[in-house]
Amino acid sequence: MRVLLTSWLAALVLLCAPLAQAELTIDITRGNEQATPIAVVPFAEDGTDLPQDIAQIVADDLRRSGYFTPLARQDMFAQPASSDDVTYGDWKALDTRYLVVGRVSQEGGNVSIRYELMDVSGESRMLGETVTTRPDQLRAAAHHVSDQVFEAITDIRGAFSTRIAYVTSEGVGDNIQYRLMVADADGHNSHQALTSNEPIMSPAWSPDGNKLAYVSFEGGRPGIYVQEVSSGRRVKLTSFEGLNSAPSWSPDGRKLALALSRDGQPEIYTIDIASQELTRITRNPSIETEPSWAPDGQSLIYTSDRSGGPQIYRQALNGGSAERLTYTGNYNARARFAPDGEAIFLIHKGNNGYQVARQDLDNGRLVELSDARQAESPSVAPNGTMVIFATQQGSRGVLGAVSADGRASFRLPAAQGDVREPAWSPFLN
């Protein structure tokens, strides 16, 4: 089935290579030279021996965003615990623009985290809050602090409290076990959502963050399932003869867009989840696949080879002709909208291989973002600041992430084996 089906099968072969279940780690691969300097001082602990370093988690979150460069602890002149203890001249001498300080204390069975954010140059307090949490929820509380600090400075909602889904497997030959995993956005607190002896592909989060749609090959052929993340309950939506692939949720969570070859060639359909009613969207003697909803729910973008190679097209759901969106190069696929609908992120084949790229929809300008030669499966953070994708590191598959402007990037390898098929969750509250 020509180029796109060949690419899809090649991705499946890569997925079927031996993989291993492991918590992901963060490797910063490219820092933003224009990132804002910030200091996150170790939080004072009032007789509390905590299993997590709250300030370090916050600093790591902010560094990973590409917006900030946290000051190394050994370079700090002092370690104040509150704004009253801050000598602004010390931090100005270190060229620090912002400062985060805090104190942690035990209150019964809970932990109280009091933190403050200061504007060093303005010598003013920008933010202060007390967060009360259970000891086993310290990482979540730290991500909340990161979200608040990030938004106070950038006016962009932080996405550190979101999650990612991804696929791993372990074993060799005919004894490979596949796992659909869910973890925090920084790769920690991973847990298994599904185990199967057959491949799992294309996880996609529901808009409320409570469900995952995915493709599973259990039973000998691909089917599309919807599963509740918390309970594990699931339903099979489709298992037609041929291709059942690439589920994408509508913004209201009522429908999925998907690619089916039930009528011969792969075409784009939508399915109502409650009634399981199918609606065919495309009718073209070409391969149509990898649909994704526009944020307003009024149109779909998808990959088609109708022009002779894979390119991105847009189809309004109220009818009319499809509009071709990409013209740069002869390979553009797997597009996803930015949350504001003003750009798309996609896989573009250029001189440096298959890269994550961003194309502005108002002027058609396409810019390569990643520096990996074999990027695939991009998924956009709900605040639009980062894109996560699958790539290679040596002989292993890892997850990579790059900022929306391409200035910062990091990778999330497992301790061993490969990782594939990432999906970034929506905001969870």
DSSP class of 283: -
Backbone angles phi, psi at 356, to 5 degrees: -70, 130
Residues 6+ apart with CB under 8 A from 299: 293, 314, 315, 316, 317
Q: In what order do the strands lie in the sheet with 191-196?
A: 191-196, 177-184, 163-170, 420-424
Separation of alpha carbons 103 and 395, rounded Å: 44
Q: Tell me what pLDDT residue 417 has.
A: 61
The pLDDT of residue 22 is above 80: no
Parallel, antiparallel, or unpaired: how do β-strands 44-46 and 98-107 relate? parallel
Share of the chain above pLDDT 70, in %: 91
Residues 6+ apart with CB under 8 A from 6: none
The pLDDT of residue 17 is above 50: no
Separation of alpha carbons 351 and 22, rounded Å: 33
Residue-wise pLDDT tens digits, 234-276? 999 998 999 999 999 999 999 999 999 998 889 999 999 999 9
Q: Hey, what amino acid is at 68? A: F
Provide the 3-class DSSP secondary structure of residue 389: strand
Chain-centre distance for alpha carbon 359? 18
Q: In what order do the strands lie in the sheet with 311-316?
A: 288-293, 299-304, 311-316, 323-324
What's the burial of 376, exposed, middle or buried (CB within 10 Å: 0-12/13-18/19+)? buried
**Total residue count of the chain as it appears in this document:** 429
| Per-residue exposure over 328-340, b if at least 16 CB sit within 10 Å of its own CB, e if not | bbebbbbbbbbbe
Q: Residue 395 — pLDDT band, cuts 50, 70, 90? A: confident
- Among residues 342, 259, 335, which one has the least CA distance to residue 296? 342
Beta bridge pairs of residue 386? 403
Backbone angles phi, psi at 134, to 5 degrees: -80, 155
Q: What is the dihedral of CA 293, 351, 383, 40, to 10 degrees?
A: 160
Residue-wise pLDDT tens digits, 152-190? 999 999 999 999 999 987 777 778 888 999 999 999 999
What's the burial of 274, exposed, middle or buried (CB within 10 Å: 0-12/13-18/19+)? exposed
DSSP class of 93: H
- Residue 362 is inside which H or E element, if any? none
Residue-wise pLDDT tens digits, 71-118? 999 999 999 999 999 999 999 999 999 999 999 998 888 999 999 999
Residue-wise pLDDT tens digits, 282-310? 998 899 999 999 999 999 999 999 999 99
Mean pLDDT of 119-145: 96
Question: Within 10 A of 194 (CB to CB), how many other CB atoms are there?
Answer: 21
Mean pLDDT of 328-355: 96
Chain-centre distance for alpha carbon 298? 23
Q: Hey, what amino acid is at 129? A: E
